[in-house]
Amino acid sequence: MQQRLPRARIGTLVLATSGIQLANGFFGTFIALRVAIEDFQATMAALVLSGYFAGFTLGASYGGRIIERFGHIRAYAAFAGIVIAATAAMPLAVNSLPWLGLRAIIGFGCAGVFVTTESWLNAKASPSQRGYVFSIYMVGTFVAIALGQLLIARVDLEATTPFNMIVVLFALALVPVSITRAEPPLAAAEAPLPYRQLVRLAPVAVAGAALSGLISGAFYALVPVWMQDEGLDRETIAVFMLAAVLGGLAFQVPVGRLSDRFDRRTVLAVLGVGLACAAIALIRLPHTQAVILPMAVVFGGLMSTLYPVCVANAHDLLPADRVVAVSGRLILTSGCGSALGPLVGMGLLRRFDIDGVFHMISAAALLLALLAVGRRLTSASPPHLARTFKILPPQPTPLTHDPSGADHGETQNVSG
């Protein structure tokens, strides 16, 4: 029987991960703006922005094996350590190629930190507590990411100060976990799942994971760059990105409940059409704060809910004992889309301005809607499985899932 996880020990993990997310939320927007300031060649700038997502994907895929071998506390310290080292090295080698490698290392380390934290919470919290535990965890995550956006308006983007701030935040997050008295869980190997089988059984979920990664990767990497190039002040950029993040939080629960009441493919189709319309509206509507900020909330909310509904759909279609394997495959798929988003979007941004990026987002969202409708018309609705509701954070690549397999028999990271 699992023991209750004391609130103080939950707080240790939440506090540490919130510190990481505060640094990461700030880092993501800051590096997009800094790359534009450095005026890297367009392709290399896109690769630098994609590097984090590529590294994050690898970390989400292989982090579980590292945890299994070395344990949660040692793995957490190692992952955080390489993030700190890579961040500190960036101002020492201001060039596109070193930054590409360093951002990939940072993405790998951040994914490992999140894998460690989530698997720890999953394994130690009983099924009856898990929804409560993760609601606390995700509230801390959203608050930290939102605050990270506000830091953009307070720093000199061309100085080394932002890198130093990020290093300090990552280092502070390492302390509470390193000295915690909470007993880490035992890790077990996870069962593999061939991609061919996943695509055959849940094609909409796989396509949706890739397209949602493409959309969010392009948005978070390129929109701040465009806003800066347009001469908008950093306060405006920070508030716009904050609105999108808060929209992601606000939409998670309502969309999750809708996806439990209706066929998830129908919900995905509605989300896709809505997101496509929101993307076009951000181009066509007057660019005043009174109009753009509410639309940013809507856009961020619709964008952030695509992936969790796709995950829920996949878990409806596969056996409960494949939960971890399904989650890992979808993370990898989403990560590939996230890495591709800035690469494709940067070319469109240079040629067609921001209209090209938002038209790409609109086309990707409509493609997902069409795939969902087509599958809905040609196959029966899958049964909705009982599951613990978990809110997903507004990241291009979502947080990963329990690599220890502690949640076998219960679906994770889904929208209802």
Tell me the domain boundaries of the chain.
7-180+194-378
User: Is residue 317 helix, strand or coil?
Assistant: helix
d(CA 234, CA 404): 42
**Spans in the chain with pLDDT lower than 50:** 1-3, 386, 388-389, 396-416
Cα–Cα distance, 135 to 250 (Å, whole number): 13
Helix 264-284 with 323-378: angle, nearest 10 deg: 80
What is the predicted pLDDT for the residue at 321?
Answer: 64
SS3 of residue 387 by DSSP: strand
The overall average pLDDT reported for the chain is 82
* Residues making up the chain, counted from first to last: 416
For the domain bounded by 7-180+194-378, which CATH number is listed? 1.20.1250.20
Per-residue confidence (pLDDT) for residue 364, from 0 to 100: 97
Q: How many helices (H) and strands (E) does the chain have?
A: 12, 0
The pLDDT value recorded for residue 370 is 96
pTM score of the predicted model: 0.78
Query: Please, what's the b/e burial string for 394-405 (b: 16 or more CB within 10 A of its CB; e: otherwise)?
Result: bbbbbbbbbbbb
List beta partners, residue 136: none
H helices of 39-160, where? Answer: 42-70, 72-89, 96-124, 127-150
* Dist CA 317 CA 202 (whole Å): 7
Instruction: In whole angstroms, give the CA distance from residue 154 to residue 172.
Output: 20
CB 40 within 8 A of CB 162: no
Give the Cα separation of 163 and 27 in Å (integer): 8
DSSP classification of residue 4 = P
CB-CB contact of 140 with 15 (8 Å): yes
Residue at token pair 């890495």: 339
- DSSP letter at 90 equals G
Helix/strand/coil for 39: coil
